[in-house]
């Protein structure tokens, strides 16, 4: 099977290309589950998972999921199409096996999503390996068998992946069929070559660009952006790109030099990651306190988040990040979100990131990526930022 992978890569080198994948926004998970009277149950399960991870002290919690971005990926021959969460914070690809019939695998009604599962017997190119793995995430896990099959999301190639035979209960609320990890090999579970590394020989350039569209009401799903594999997206992103070298080839990890919001400011070098799989921005607890103080936010015990009155959305202070000597502004309309919570309340898309005392101390999630296109440059081990273009709010 390894010989097949090598031959496929050699053939692909002759036909280098650029590919574009539409990113679909699933809409707000909080809004959807609240309407289905399931958010309280979801919150209890999420908090239980967080407590278990903190007790073990084994990994940072990167689980602030609300508005997902998915891309269509086909697996097998003939191809079966799945909506996979685009995640630059992990490195494995997995789909749910058709034989998994738990409530989580089928998807709970509150997710308002018809889940698709992989029928291995319907694929003539499916190859099951004699190995099982378990992938652990901040808010859940999946177990199953390693396998190889034809995968297509930016051209076609052979890919090793997890055929998930069991998934965490909390994933049953989430409107996707699996996850496609776009980070580095070092954090791949099972020594699996990540999808991007298999794709590199086929691309014009060893990089990909993520552009996420902007919208005021994120409770509504729909077209959410574009992932360009093999090139910088010059249609949706400004031509001026500023780069910073990675500090670790694990996550897409780099350093910030400082942060400010309103009357609060600090200069301190800290490691951060760019993560399309995290819906909000996460930072140290003292930074969370500063954001709360400067925005006048109040904690909602009902939703487990901080909120402000929606009438203040346009007047809240910018979040300002200093990266490689340049300042990047995240305006209030990017991080104050109308999730249809009621009583005129809007969410503050910022959370206390519990890093466990190691690794990155910040996560720059979707609010940052909506404001600035992120160019993930594998070839030069760096990440670039270009101001995102948006037609309207």
- List strand residue ranges (DSSP E) for 76-220, in order: 80-87, 93-96, 127-136, 141-152, 156-167, 178-181, 207-212
Per-residue tokens: 341 = 């919570």
Instruction: For tokens 């959807």, name the residue.
Output: 32
Phi, psi of 322 (to 5 degrees): -100, 120
Q: Give the angle subtended at the CA of 310 by the CAs of 306 and 316, to the nearest 5°.
A: 75
Which residue from 79, 127, 104, 128 is spatially nearest to 177, judged by alpha carbons? 104
Residue 285 is classified by DSSP as: H
Token digits of residue 343: 């009583």
Distance separating alpha carbons of residues 112 and 173, to the nearest angstrom = 9
Longest Cα–Cα distance of the chain, Å, equals 62
Q: Exposed, middle or buried, 294 (CB in 10 Å: 0-12/13-18/19+)? A: middle
For 107, the 3-state DSSP assignment is coil
Return the active site residues. 87, 275
């Amino acid at each position: 099977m390894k010989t097949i992978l090598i031959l496929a890569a050699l053939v692909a080198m002759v036909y280098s290309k650029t590919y574009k994948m539409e990113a679909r926004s699933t809409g707000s998970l909080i809004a959807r589950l609240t309407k289905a009277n399931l958010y309280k149950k979801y919150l209890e399960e999420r908090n239980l998972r967080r407590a278990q991870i903190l007790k073990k002290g084994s990994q940072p919690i990167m689980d602030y999921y609300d508005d997902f971005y998915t891309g269509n990926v086909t697996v097998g021959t003939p191809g079966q199409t799945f909506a996979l969460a685009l995640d630059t914070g992990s490195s494995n690809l997995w789909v749910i096996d058709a034989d998994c019939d738990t409530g989580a695998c089928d998807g709970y009604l509150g997710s308002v999503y018809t889940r698709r599962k992989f029928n291995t017997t319907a694929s003539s190119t499916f190859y099951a390996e004699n190995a099982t793995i378990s992938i652990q995430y901040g808010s859940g896990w999946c177990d199953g068998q390693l396998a190889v099959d034809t995968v297509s999301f930016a051209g076609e190639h052979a890919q090793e992946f997890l055929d998930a035979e069991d998934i965490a209960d909390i994933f049953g609320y989430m409107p996707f069929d699996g996850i496609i990890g776009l980070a580095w090999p070092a954090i791949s579970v099972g020594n699996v070559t990540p999808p991007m590394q298999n794709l590199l020989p086929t691309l014009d350039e060893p990089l990909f660009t993520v552009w996420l569209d902007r919208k005021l009401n994120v409770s509504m799903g729909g077209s959410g952006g574009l992932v360009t594999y093999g090139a910088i997206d010059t249609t949706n992103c400004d031509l001026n790109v500023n780069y910073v070298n990675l500090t670790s080839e694990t996550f897409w990890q780099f350093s910030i030099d400082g942060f400010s919001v309103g009357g609060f400011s600090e200069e301190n070098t800290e490691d951060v990651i760019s993560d399309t799989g995290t819906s909000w921005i996460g930072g140290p607890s003292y930074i969370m306190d500063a954001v709360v103080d400067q925005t006048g936010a109040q904690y909602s015990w009902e939703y487990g988040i901080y909120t402000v009155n929606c009438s203040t959305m346009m007047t809240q202070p910018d979040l300002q990040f200093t990266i490689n000597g340049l300042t990047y502004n995240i305006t209030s309309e990017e991080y104050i979100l109308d999730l249809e919570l009621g009583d005129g309340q809007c969410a503050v898309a910022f959370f206390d990131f519990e890093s466990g005392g190691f690794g990155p101390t910040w996560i720059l999630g979707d609010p940052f990526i909506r404001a600035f296109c992120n160019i993930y440059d594998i070839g030069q081990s760096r990440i670039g930022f270009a101001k995102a273009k948006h037609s309207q709010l």
